[in-house]
């Protein structure tokens, strides 16, 4: 499936396997990873530094080893699209419910019910973000291009 231009683009990059999980592997994108790099040469496997870990579903995770270099393809969202999804949707839900509460129940605008309704809408917005993230992860999974 082609990625819409406003959403982001697909990046193909070298990566190192940083963990093996149930049903797939965890890998960290690393531009310096090559055939001779291992677990200690690039630092992607170390726990001292924060790193980006991507889950890649594979049929046989035991065929991979920690520190192995691979080439992966993954979706990179544009910063503005990601910020709009993560911050915009929950904020819009909270503001819409707050405005609706104010229009419908104006005398009780400062009641605990208004606060509860706004916080519930904010939580619902975060639920929408989670659902969107799951759909995007299903439509554009991390894939292994080549094994090294």
Give residue-wise pLDDT tens across range 48-98: 554 678 889 998 889 998 888 899 999 888 888 889 999 999 999 999 998
Q: Is residue 1 part of a domain?
A: no
Give residue-wise pLDDT tens across range 15-55: 888 889 888 999 888 756 654 444 444 555 554 554 678 88
**Same domain? 33 vs 53:** yes
As a whole number, the mean pLDDT across the chain is 83
Residue linked to tokens 């929408």: 128
Listing DSSP states for 27-74 in one string gives EEE-TT--TT--TTTSSTT-SSS----EEEE-S-GGG--TT-EEEEEE
* Structural domain boundaries enclosing 54: 8-77+139-147
Tell me what pLDDT residue 91 has.
94
Rounded Cα distance, 79 and 83, in Å: 6
**Same domain? 58 vs 86:** no
Measured over the CA atoms of residue 116, residue 98, residue 79 and residue 129, the dihedral's sign is positive
CATH of the domain at 59: 2.40.50
């Amino acid at each position: 499936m082609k990625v819409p231009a406003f959403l982001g683009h697909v990046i193909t990059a070298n990566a190192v396997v940083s963990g093996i999980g149930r049903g797939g592997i965890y890998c960290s994108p690393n531009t310096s990873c090559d055939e001779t790099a291992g677990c200690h040469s690039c630092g992607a496997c170390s726990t001292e530094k924060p790193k980006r870990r991507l889950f890649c579903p594979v049929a046989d995770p035991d065929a991979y080893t920690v520190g192995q270099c691979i080439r992966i393809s993954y979706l990179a969202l544009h910063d503005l699209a990601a910020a709009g999804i993560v911050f915009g949707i929950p904020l819009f839900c909270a503001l819409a419910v707050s405005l609706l509460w104010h229009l419908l129940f104006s005398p009780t605008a400062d009641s605990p019910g208004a606060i509860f309704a706004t916080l519930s809408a904010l939580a619902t917005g975060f639920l929408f973000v989670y659902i969107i993230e799951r759909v995007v992860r299903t439509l554009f999974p991390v894939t292994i291009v080549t094994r090294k």
